[in-house]
Structure 1
Amino acid sequence: MSEIVIMWDWLAFAVRWLHVITAIAWIGSSFYFIALDLGLRRAPDMPEGVHGEEWQVHGGGFYHIQKYLVSPARMPEDLIWFKWESYVTWLSGAALLMIVYWAGAELYLIDSSKADLAVWQAILISFGSLTIGWLVYDFLCKSGLAERPTLLMVLLFILLMVMAWGYNQVFTGRASLLHLGAFTATIMTANVFLVIMPNQRIVVQDLKEGRKPDPKYGKIAKLRSTHNNYLTLPVLFLMLSNHYPLAFASEYNWIIAGLVFLLGVTIRHYFNTRHARKGNPTWTWLVSVLLFLGIMWLSTAPLMQSDYDEEEARDLTAKEQIFASADGFEEVQDIVLGRCSMCHAREPSWDGINRAPKNMLLETRGDIVAAASEIFLQAGATNAMPPANVTWMEEDERRKIVKWFRKAQADMSFFVAIN
């Protein structure tokens, strides 16, 4: 059974790797085309229908790029579609959400001090919120507000803040920001899959059948692409936030997320303006710094912590009771309390650490058995923890963790078999 845990962790690593690679490809191509589109220039000798052109140099070669505002007079034989970067980024992110947060719901997703949810209820909220959120956003875009893009962006920001607050009412801080990132990424990929690509296919089909394409389809796609451009940087922040308790472990994490969205707007506004050669809005630097200082200040606010009993934080589940009663647990508990809990505590005693890394608490019996798999992976099967072995965990202690975990897994298998 311990081998399954290791394989499962490697699966999570592989999917995360895929997610990061495809995200880099998607964001890279997105930023490139935004910069290209804004930097196009008019020239007197351009072919009919060409909106602008740009000369670029890269890797020892020169590139001459022209953009047709609606479409060329005829369909080119070789047409490259940029779509799979977006699709695979979302699919791999969804798989990672299932592997880490759905399969590990009791540890990473559910915060019983906020909402006492069953695992299936938490997963349903997780999945349903992504779907409903997209439907609300899509309705706003199709409601006529496309003619008032600034108002539409304000309403989108309000929607994101409502979702951030709502997630923080039911999920752990880590899951709240991660789900907000997933919600935003769902909007971005759905824009590509359900709006931008279908509109481009209509234009291509019109060209193939000899009709003049309607420019409205390009205008609709352009609006959604602009939204994606301003949402990209916040999504990256939210993707990485689960590694930084300063971001997710504050009771004001939903406000921090809101400031991050504003920060994404100011940063992209600067670069978009520069690429369009419409000035040098250096004021955005000051606003960005002030927003980031606001984020730093909010992150120091007291954590939202529930009261707990020194002897036991909560009742143990049947699985946790098996782990707590397995041979070797008492020794493992002493090891964890002596080597780990000075950092992984509700009030850490290690200098420079103000809150438990990744919000992982290892103070009570309940804490330890709930984090059994993580303890096994981080301090038993590997020596990832303690970092740099600053608390001098002995190899014999690591072997005791492995032995206890495997015995508990065997007891768990027997329990399942007889029940």
Structure 2
Amino acid sequence: MDPLVWEWLSFGVRWLHVITAIAWIGSSFYFIALDLGLRKRPGLPEGVTGEEWQVHGGGFYYIQKYMIAPEAMPEHLIWFKWESYSTWLTGFFLLVVVYYAGAELYLIDRAVLDVPAWGAVLISLGGLALGWIIYDLLCRSPLGKNDWLLYAALFGFLVLLSWGFTQVFSGRAAFLHTGAVVATIMSANVFMIIIPNQKKVVATLRAGGTPEAKLGLQAKQRSTHNNYLTLPVIFLMLSNHYPLAFGTKWNWVIVSLVLVMGAIIRHFFNSMHAKKGRPWWTWGVAALCFAAIVWLSTFPAETPEEYDISGTQNPLYLSASFEDVRETVIGRCSMCHAQEPFWEGIGVAPKGVVLETDEQILRHAHEIYIQAGRSNAMPPGNVTEISGEERQLIASWFEQALAPKP
């Protein structure tokens, strides 16, 4: 597929993913706050456990919650599920477009594990499936009867999983996959547990029976997990834009701190909505966690020996114009994209992209083509005064070298 078409496909899918994620997280946060803020009063209708008055957009809303269901089921019932499903589906499609199709660039780091693209994709798919299976087994095990023991086990599992991903993928992909596993757990909770249990309850009530209490308890437990995992998964999904998060020696420890930081921030808002006070100490702990993350980011990742991708199999390297492209990239880009950037105010290479050697230029050829060849996104504000001829040189080099041969 044409690189420009693929780039726009990536942007379109990312846009959909962000939109659906906002819808899911927004409705989730709203219902959590609503549920925790419900008030009890004498004279509530049978089965109603709380009510709340709200005002929004110039109108007033009166909301009541039935712990199980009203005596007569309404004909029109809205199920909040498609936000979750759409978020996961668009996220997985984005994973395919960016990380699977661009495995050599974004997924694989041969200095970490030298595997073919198809092998890395299988590891990725296996990690997503295994993450949900182990999580579900932990919840169904005896640990599931004690919330605090279960939280400890799940925390340890996610940290171990994050460390495992750093042993097989690039740092960027390791963070993204930890977030993808968490997102899979959250969406699978909705698809496999919460919605099916609610449907069983509705079916039983419509048949005149009494629903099993465990169905509601199980759904509530999984919903609570989703609540506390939301902020960490947002951090992990955004982290691929920030190499100081994923490109450090202790990146998996950073994941563990993010899990703690996200959970205690949610605890603050949960306590506030439940009218149990505002535990301000949580922000102090969150600030300490963030400070620790900043400190850990000062430990650079171990620099492995470069591997050679510049041999006879690489048409970009064999191109007659590669030397001119190399000179352009070194002259116009490497003042920022260097192990030790010398552009004032730049402390680390943007997005972790270093462009000082042939191997590094070839590894990031697609990004150079899009950012500096087919657009003027780089350098920012054209501070290094790259000319139109130089941009055309980069674009022609990439397109001609990778064009199908007759």
Normalising by structure 1, report the TM-score. Answer: 0.94
Instruction: Identify the residue that residue 358 of structure 2 maps to in structure 1.
Output: 365
* Equivalent pair of 2:113/2:168 in contact (CA under 8 Å): yes
- Structure 2: distance between partners of 1:198 and 1:144: 22
CA deviation vs aligned residue, 1:57-80 (integer Å, no higher than 9, x gap)? 101111111111112112111100
* Equivalent pair of 1:327/1:407 in contact (CA under 8 Å): no
- Structure 2: distance between partners of 1:325 and 1:317: 8
CA drift at 1:220 = 0.5
CA drift at 1:369 = 2.1
- AA at the equivalent of 2:221: L
**Within 5 A, what are the aligned runs for 1:202-213?**
202-213=200-211
Alignment of 1:246 onto 2:244: yes
- AA at the equivalent of 1:52: G
CA deviation vs aligned residue, 1:198-235 (integer Å, no higher than 9, x gap)? 00010110122111222221110000000000000000
* SS class of match (1:363): coil
Instruction: Identify the residue that residue 91 of structure 2 maps to in structure 1.
Output: 93
CA drift at 1:38 = 0.5
More displaced, 164-173 or 357-366? 357-366
- AA at the equivalent of 2:319: A
Match for residue 189 of structure 1 among 187, 190, 201: 187
Instruction: Identify the residue that residue 221 of structure 1 maps to in structure 2.
Output: 219
Instruction: Identify the residue that residue 50 of structure 2 maps to in structure 1.
Output: 52
Instruction: Identify the residue that residue 22 of structure 1 maps to in structure 2.
Output: 20
Instruction: Identify the residue that residue 142 of structure 1 maps to in structure 2.
Output: 140
CA deviation vs aligned residue, 1:345-370 (integer Å, no higher than 9, x gap)? 23333233333222222211222222
- AA at the equivalent of 1:275: H
Instruction: Identify the residue that residue 179 of structure 1 maps to in structure 2.
Output: 177
* Equivalent pair of 1:50/1:68 in contact (CA under 8 Å): yes
More displaced, 102-111 or 224-233? 102-111
Instruction: Identify the residue that residue 380 of structure 1 maps to in structure 2.
Output: 373
* Equivalent pair of 1:71/1:213 in contact (CA under 8 Å): no
* SS class of match (1:77): coil
**Within 5 A, what are the aligned runs for 1:13-412?**
13-308=11-306, 313-316=307-310, 319=313, 321-410=314-403
* Equivalent pair of 2:312/2:318 in contact (CA under 8 Å): no
* Equivalent pair of 1:133/1:183 in contact (CA under 8 Å): yes
Aligned in 2, Cα 1:101/1:306: closer, same or farther, shift over 3 Å? same
Identity, % of aligned positions: 58
- AA at the equivalent of 1:210: G
**Number of paired residues?**
406
* Equivalent pair of 1:49/1:71 in contact (CA under 8 Å): yes
More displaced, 224-233 or 388-397? 388-397
More displaced, 389-398 or 80-89? 389-398
* Equivalent pair of 1:340/1:386 in contact (CA under 8 Å): yes
**Aligned Cα root-mean-square deviation (Å):** 1.3
* Equivalent pair of 2:13/2:90 in contact (CA under 8 Å): yes
- Structure 1: distance between partners of 2:214 and 2:118: 43
Instruction: Identify the residue that residue 12 of structure 1 maps to in structure 2.
Output: 10
* Equivalent pair of 2:310/2:358 in contact (CA under 8 Å): no
CA drift at 1:121 = 1.1
- Structure 1: distance between partners of 2:345 and 2:116: 36
Aligned in 2, Cα 1:51/1:281: closer, same or farther, shift over 3 Å? same
More displaced, 70-79 or 7-16? 70-79
More displaced, 232-241 or 393-402? 393-402
CA drift at 1:112 = 1.0
Structure 2 residue ranges without an equivalent (≥5): none
* SS class of match (1:170): coil
Structure 1 residue ranges without an equivalent (≥5): none
* SS class of match (2:346): coil
CA drift at 1:307 = 2.9
CA deviation vs aligned residue, 1:126-149 (integer Å, no higher than 9, x gap)? 110110111010001011323201
- Structure 2: distance between partners of 1:114 and 1:406: 30
- Structure 1: distance between partners of 2:168 and 2:310: 21
CA drift at 1:280 = 1.7
CA deviation vs aligned residue, 1:287-344 (integer Å, no higher than 9, x gap)? 1111111111111112221134xxxx5243655x211122322111100010112222
Aligned in 2, Cα 1:339/1:197: closer, same or farther, shift over 3 Å? same
* Equivalent pair of 2:247/2:300 in contact (CA under 8 Å): no
Aligned in 2, Cα 1:164/1:317: closer, same or farther, shift over 3 Å? farther
Aligned in 2, Cα 1:202/1:209: closer, same or farther, shift over 3 Å? same
- Structure 1: distance between partners of 2:247 and 2:391: 29
- Structure 2: distance between partners of 1:382 and 1:73: 62
- Structure 1: distance between partners of 2:222 and 2:312: 49
* Equivalent pair of 2:241/2:351 in contact (CA under 8 Å): yes
